[in-house]
Structure 1
Amino acid sequence: MEPIHTVGSPVLWGGFVAFVIAMLALDLGVFHRKAHVVGFKEALGWSTVWISLAFVFNGFMWWKFGSGPAVEFLTGYLIEKSLSIDNVFVFVVIFSALRIPQLYQHRVLFWGILSALVLRAIMIFAGVAMLERFHWLIYVFGLFLIITGVKLFIQRNKEDHPEEGWMMRTARRVIPSTTNFDGHHFFTVENGRKLATPLLMALVLVEASDILFALDSIPAIFAVTRDPFIVFTSNIFAILGLRSLFFLLAGAVEKFSYLKVGLSGVLIFVGTKMAIIDIVKIHPMVSLVVIATMLGASIVASLIKARNLPAHPPADPLAKPSES
């Protein structure tokens, strides 16, 4: 078994983990100590902060290790960031289906993403170790990404109903629950029984969806690099910015009608790159340009289509319908 090569020293690993913990503590302990509806300006501000921090870190990678690792990080971050947008679509459906008030959505996403950080770390190290030991798995991952990309393209207009899936049915059978809310609490007591509120059921679906998306995103970044430090940091920066991205885009997901076409193209491209890695070597800069072009074209096409549609009052996908 060959050793795993990484640019991350123990000091860098420790410093990055400390940075993540400090930012999470600042987020929950200072800026979101009290539950409140996250508005567009606040979401835009935090999105700018997370994206800026990712680019600052990318600059550090360039200064410390050169252009190679820096380009790999930027390409990986772009892949993870773009694929995380698909999470936003699912989160909108989850919160809408379970009627989660906007006041408590940040709390659900915070704890869901916190657990996602741990799960991603485990999956990344397991994936790197498996690829180092069993090289042929690179072809399996590549084929899986190609199939996933084709499936995403075919089903791009299909509506998601995660609240009706097997995960939610199983959770409801295993976890005694109620349809009543009890403020921001995940559990409540009714008739002497401790029951899960809809917030916990939403958290279960958020965590389950992240695991499913990780099955796509982590193999995708392995097409760019197998350095666990670069894979981990690019993943974490994308995940940390996911909550603000959700509140930024939740009311406008219908405008990105061609985004899934771009995402499917990215998955097929990186899957093909993995499948032919021993025949043709594609430079990371070429991958960065191709991926950025695909995503940029899909976003521009979506905005042009949305602009040309007849004007009508936008519907809030998270708003509770009025009772007649």
Structure 2
Amino acid sequence: MNFNEFVFFTGFLAFISLMLILDLGVLSRKNKSVSFQEAATWSVVWIVVALIFSFLLYKYGEQMHNVKDFNSLQKAVNEYVDKDSRKDVILDANDYEKSVQSYRSLIALEFLTGWILEYSLSIDNIFVIILIFASFKVREKYYKKVLLWGVLGAVVMRFIFIFVGSALIHRFEFILYIFGGILIFSGYKMLTEKEEEEIDTEKHPVVKLASRYFSVFPRYVANRFFVRRMGKVFITPLFLVILVIEFTDLLFAVDSVPAVFAVTKDPYLVFFSNIFAIMGLRSMFFF
């Protein structure tokens, strides 16, 4: 990661953090249900922000990888653009501006494609989270807090998954075929498996694992994740819900992230498209 990538990445995370503060109301500690109007507004906001981001890539995208001249542009194309897509980048040593604009157009398109693809593949995530909340009997006014921590966990896990996956792809290109196999298997499961109507909370593997290593309090304690009783710290069922949601998101990431890697080899574009899709879908949850 060069300095420009670090600044770009840090700025992106800072912006997402600020939007989370505004969107999820971190500054307000009131527990209240999210209205349809609020959810619709923020869904539109995240779509508009993603489109603005793609426009910025179209205008200044080369700055992300510190492209300043033709040689650095050629290096970025070789490292981050798939072999089949390189034909779409016009590399003319005598016309740097034309070459760099061609690169900008490609990465803006790859981001948009990855974002839409992640959005469409993750729609099921909403219904699974609804199922989790219903099965664990979570009160609606606590949804926002649980989803806040769920989103933060998803950002961290997707970061690790995407950049480790990218490093493996760059070193072992056959990893892409493994990702392709995962996509085929996921498609088969979608066609053959029936939708679950309820989750057996006691038999869920995450609940069983957490119960083995932590003391679990038998009931909810308002919106708290931890509670102390008789000098002992317990995790509450609400914390178990977060763990189950994180586990579920990881499973969805295994399905959806390889699909975006099929669009672009650039891990930054994969990560950015994933996060914008997650944020938009989180708002849609409250429809």
Calculate the TM-score normalised by the size of structure 2.
0.78
What is the match of residue 159 of structure 2? 121
Which position in structure 2 is the counterpart of 1:37? 33
> How is 1:209-228 mapped onto 2 (pairs within 5 angstroms)?
209-228=248-267
Deviations 1:203-246 (A, max 9, x none): 11011101111111111111000111211110111122232121
Deviation at 1:140, TM superposition (A): 1.1
Q: Does 1:183 align with 2:207?
A: no
Partner in structure 1 of residue 136 of structure 2 = 98
Secondary structure of the residue aligned to 2:33 is coil
How many angstroms apart in 1 are the aligned matches of 2:51 and 2:10? 20
1:162–1:79 Cα change, 3 Å:
farther
**Mean CA deviation greater in 138-147 or 149-158:** 149-158
The residue matched to 2:234 in structure 1 has which SS?
Answer: strand
Deviations 1:254-280 (A, max 9, x none): xxxxxxxxxxxxxxxxxxxxxxxxxxx
Partner of 1:59: 55
Contact between 1:94 and 1:162, CA under 8 Å: does it hold in 2?
no
Structure 2 match to 1:172: 211
Residue 190 of structure 2 is matched in structure 1 by 152
* Contact 2:215 2:235 (8 Å CA) reproduced: yes
Three-state SS of the structure 2 residue aligned to 1:9 is: helix
1:96-134 CA-to-partner distances (Å, cap 9, x unmatched) read 011100011111110011011011111111111100100
Measure, in 2, the Cα distance between the counterparts of 1:215 and 1:169.
22
Q: Is 1:24 aligned with 2:14?
A: no
1:199 aligns with 2:238: yes
1:131 aligns with 2:172: no
Give the whole-Å Cα distance in 2 for the aligned partners of 1:101 and 1:128: 39
Work out the CA distance in 2 between the residues paired with 1:83 and 1:150: 14
Q: Is the 8 A contact 2:158 2:253 kept in 1?
A: yes
CA distance 1:189–1:174, change in 2 (3 Å): same
User: Aligned to 1:11, which of 7, 10, 25?
Assistant: 7
Task: Give the SS at the match of 1:241.
Answer: helix
Distance 1:160 1:69 in 2: 41
Instruction: Quote the Cα distance in structure 2 between the aligned partners of 1:30 and 1:112.
Output: 14
Aligned with residue 111 of structure 1, among 149, 156, 159: 149
Corresponding position of 1:244: 283
How many residue pairs end up in the alignment? 243
* Corresponding letter in the other structure for 1:194: V
Judge conservation of contact 2:179–2:258 (CA < 8 Å) in 1.
yes
Identity of aligned residues (%): 43
Tell whether the 8 Å contact from 2:135 to 2:198 is kept in structure 1 after alignment.
Answer: no
Shift of 1:32: 4.5
Q: How far did 1:178 drift?
A: 2.5
| Equivalent pair of 1:106/1:243 in contact (CA under 8 Å) | no
* Cα gap change, 1:31 to 1:48, in 2 (>3 Å): farther
Gaps of 5+ in 2: 62-103
The amino acid of 1:44's aligned partner reads: A
Q: TM-score normalised to the size of structure 1? A: 0.70
Give the distance between the partners of 2:200 and 2:153, measured in 1 at CA.
19
User: 2:285 aligns to what SS in structure 1?
Assistant: helix
- SS of corresponding position for 2:122: helix
The match for 1:71 among 109, 130, 136 is 109
The alignment partner of 2:239 has SS state of: helix
Per-residue CA distance 1:57-93 (angstroms, 9 max, x = gap):
1121222343211111111001111122111111111
Q: 1:300 corresponds to which residue?
A: none
Q: Are 1:208 and 2:204 an aligned pair?
A: no
Gapped regions of structure 1 (runs ≥ 5): 249-324
1:124 and 1:38 map into 2 onto residues whose CA distance is: 31
User: Shift of the alpha carbon at 1:43?
Assistant: 0.8
Number of the residue aligned with 2:83: none
Q: Which moved more, 1:189-198 or 1:126-135?
A: 189-198
Q: Which stretch has the larger CA shift, 231-240 or 15-24?
A: 15-24
After TM superposition, give the deviation of residue 187 of structure 1 in Å.
1.6
* Cα distance in 2 for residues equivalent to 1:18 and 1:32: 19
Amino acid at match of 1:40: F
CA distance in 2, matches of 1:107, 1:160: 22
- 1:161 is the counterpart of 2:157: no
Q: Deviation at 1:29?
A: 5.0
Distance in structure 2 (CA, Å) of the matches to 1:117 and 1:28: 15
Range with bigger deviation, 114-123 or 55-64: 55-64
Q: Please give the secondary structure, in 2, of the residue aligned with 1:147.
A: helix
2:163 aligned partner, one-letter code: F
